[in-house]
Amino acid sequence: MPTETKNSKMVQLLGYLGLVPFVFPSVIVWNLSFNTPVEFLFLIFCSYSLLVCSFLAGSIWAFNINLNQSPLGSIVLFFMPFFASILMLVLFNQAIALSVVNINAIEHLISIALLLLLLSSYVVLYVYEVKLLAHKNYYRKMRFWLTLVVILAHSSWLLFFYINFLK
- What is the block-wise mean pLDDT of the chain (167 residues), using blocks of 10 residues? 80 94 95 83 92 90 80 79 84 60 69 92 92 81 96 96 82
Say if 61 falls within a structural domain: no
Say if 43 falls within a structural domain: no
Say if 90 falls within a structural domain: yes
Say if 155 falls within a structural domain: yes
pLDDT value for 39:
85
CB 129 within 8 A of CB 135: yes
* Domain count for the chain: 1
pLDDT value for 38:
86
Say if 75 falls within a structural domain: yes
Angle at 29 between CA 27 and CA 32, to 5 degrees: 120
* Full domain range(s) for residue 137: 68-167
What single-letter DSSP state applies at residue 101? S
Say if 20 falls within a structural domain: no
pLDDT value for 75:
77
pTM of the predicted protein model: 0.87
Please give the full DSSP string across 130-162, using - where no structure is assigned: HHH----HHHHHHHHHHHHHHHHHHHHHHHHHI
pLDDT value for 138:
87
